[in-house]
Chains A and B, each alone.
Chain A
């Protein structure tokens, strides 16, 4: 378990606290893509996720003075990312019903389509879109952000057992959705 903000982050945060906006730009560059994946895992809409992420980073900039190095910066950041995304999900839920996008279209992939890397990325995103937000967010935190279960409990507020269940269900559902989407081609993925 990491328990300290990296020296690079610490230097950048100190500069931001002193009013250096360009240092914040460097911090954004480092965390923006993983943060976007986390927001997307909850909201399931790329354009909306980018807009929400902009607001999240503004919130982070405004609150950075309250960051006292008691936790790792990424843990603090991802907690804001996830809380804000869930709040946004509550607002849009009447408009976008996540449960209604759980079915993926079957057998629409041709072999030529499949071998293009960009398409593979799209297929994986489609499969992830069909997974419940709490499952995909835990999968992303565990595999993409390489967070431990303990760190995930701090970020999401979920209990350890709930995280383990979501990890297990997330893996099975991702596998199921990819099989459903790619059929026999799944073995050629990656």
Chain B
């Protein structure tokens, strides 16, 4: 087989990308660019930080309610139960919100094909 024929054969064999190749690529690049400027999402870190903050707040609250005295005319000791009930609900709501955000983030990444 001569050189010219090999060249023609190889030119004939040239592959073509799928029609949406460039579009998909530019979309991935644009997304990466915008992600680069947004906050980096790390679920374990965010969860740990939020939990620590909430526990610190609860500890300070516990210390403050343990001391004797009145708060807006109500005995501080009597405020313990309602305060901790509200605090527990708030804690669960915050964790639930972070988990929902994490799910949305994962879904978005899957849609864009970003690993």
List, in ascending order, chain B residues with CB within 8 A of A37's CB: 13-15
The 8 Å CB contact of B17, one of A53, A139, A174, is A53
Cβ contact within 8 Å between B25 and A143: no
Cβ contact within 8 Å between B21 and A25: no
B contact face: mostly helix, strand, loop, or mixed:
helix
Report the contact-size class of chain B (Cβ under 8 Å from the partner). 20 to 34
B68 sits at the interface (CB 8 A): no
List, in ascending order, chain B residues with CB within 8 A of A25's CB: 22, 25-26
Cβ contact within 8 Å between B6 and A32: no
List, in ascending order, chain B residues with CB within 8 A of A139's CB: 6, 10
The 8 Å CB contact of B21, one of A22, A32, A120, A128, is A32
Q: Given the complex of chains A and B, what is the CA–CA distance between A20 and B100 in angstroms?
A: 35
The 8 Å CB contact of B25, one of A58, A124, A175, A178, is A58
Cβ contact within 8 Å between B6 and A171: yes
Cβ contact within 8 Å between A143 and B22: no
Interface of chain A residues 35 through 71 with chain B (CB within 8 A): 36-37, 40, 46, 49-50, 53-54, 57-58, 61
With contact pairs A21-B26, A21-B29, A24-B29 given, residues A174 and B18 touching in the complex (Cβ less than 8 Å): no
Cβ contact within 8 Å between A190 and B9: yes
With contact pairs A21-B29, A33-B16 given, residues A124 and B22 touching in the complex (Cβ less than 8 Å): no
